[in-house]
Amino acid sequence: MKKLLLVTAIAAFSLSSAQAAPKFYGKVFLTADYINAKADMNTRLGVNETTKVLSAYDEDVVELNSHSSRMGVKGSEAMTDNMDVVYQLEYRISVDGDDKSFKSRDTYLGLANKHFGEFRFGRNSSVLGEVDKAIVTEGYWDNLGDSKLKSNNKPRALNMLDDSRQDNSMVWIAPKYKDLPVELRVQYALDESSAADSNDSQDGFGASLMYKAKAGYTLGLAYSKDMDISDDINILDLTDPDEPRRSKVDYGGDVIRAEVTADLDKYMAVPVTLGLLYQQADYDFTGSKKEKGLVVSGEMDLKNFTKPASVYLQYNKTDNLNGYNNSNSEQMVLGGKYKFKKNITAHAYIGKNSADYVAVGKIKGVDVNDKKYERYDNIESDIEVFAFGGGLEYKF
């Protein structure tokens, strides 16, 4: 009898202490892209002056590119009747092999409560990214956030500021209220790099609100401060007007984004979803201008295919890229998707991006006395990128 009770107790303990199995998931998205990039400098240089900014550049290349490929584990486990532990460990992988390291995406540990909502602590995507339903481009042209050149030797398609991931951050997802189709998120991000001097601290915060109506439209509004706008940049220092210098400064700022989408099929039996997004970013470095971004999109379902398919068209316009006056870009992309299965999608797209790009550059010269000198100035360039490609996206 005692042995039976012991076995029963052990079994009961094992069942009560069993952990909920985590879910392993991921995505592999690989494309082949043809890219033609051109760049030409507009700034007039003096006689015997040179700079490293690209001019008369015209190159073609075919690339294999990995787009947001990832793998991770996530799950939850009950602590009490009303409280669960939630967790996620997600990492970016480069399927094409250009980057052989794993890079952290959203990784967090948190608590979910039926009455108080969900709290996530760790590395979280900015709440700005919750307002993105109007953005339909995929693959190579999913390029929001590419607002400045990584190198003077390689032009690329330039676009407005996008959301970013925030280290040392907390996100609160408000609980659902009855059947109201509203989602509220609030975020706070610690700037631990300045912990030694509280006067220099640039902790960030933000919030987003999404309304998804059953009538087929969505409304979104998001705001962040010192999160998505937080970096360093070279500016032209005019402290001495006779000898301008290049100065690298840290900056912050705030950004507000609003969008609306509408499924016309709900109103006039037209299988088209339209999207409109407007964003304004206010950089806080000296001499900066407000970056203003606009996205207009439309996606149409194709009913004459045996599998779900769609085509889309998206136009992007950005004024004052990175807060630089007269640094602007325009982009137009046509694309399509074909779903072989729920987790397997084929993509194809073609697009063009044109930008008037402004950045501080070093100019070297030789004066009339054959004496070498250096000076700094804002260098203006025309950059044009044309690309088409396609590939396969697999989710597991």
Backbone angles phi, psi at 266, to 5 degrees: -80, -15
Task: Give pLDDT tens digits for 308-353.
Answer: 999 999 999 999 999 999 999 999 999 999 999 999 999 999 999 9
**pLDDT of residue 381 exceeding 70:** yes
Specify the amino acid at residue 207.
A
Long-range contacts, stretch 91-94, CB < 8 angstroms, 24+ apart = 92/68, 93/26, 93/66, 93/69, 94/66, 94/69
**pLDDT of residue 211 exceeding 90:** yes
pTM of the model: 0.88
Contacts of 352 (CB under 8 A, 6+ apart): 331, 332, 384, 385, 386, 387
Task: Give pLDDT tens digits for 65-79.
Answer: 999 999 999 999 999
Other residues' Cβ atoms within 10 Å of the Cβ of residue 279: 23
Pairing of strands 217-225, 204-212: antiparallel
Residue 2: the pLDDT is 42
Share of the chain above pLDDT 90, in %: 66
Q: Is there a contact between 171 and 185 (Cβ–Cβ < 8 Å)?
A: yes
Task: Give pLDDT tens digits for 214-230.
Answer: 889 999 999 999 999 98
* Ramachandran class of 116: left when φ > 0, alpha when ψ lies in -120 to 50, beta otherwise: alpha
**pLDDT of residue 8 exceeding 60:** no
> Rounded to whole angstroms, how far apart are CA atoms 132 and 116?
26
Span 122-141, mean pLDDT? Answer: 97
Give the three-class secondary structure for 193.
helix
> Rounded to whole angstroms, how far apart are CA atoms 246 and 265?
54
Task: Give pLDDT tens digits for 11-27.
Answer: 443 444 456 789 999 99
Higher pLDDT, 287 or 55: 287
- DSSP class of residue 69 equals -
Give the three-class secondary structure for 12.
helix
Q: Is there a contact between 360 and 324 (Cβ–Cβ < 8 Å)?
A: no
**pLDDT of residue 195 exceeding 70:** no
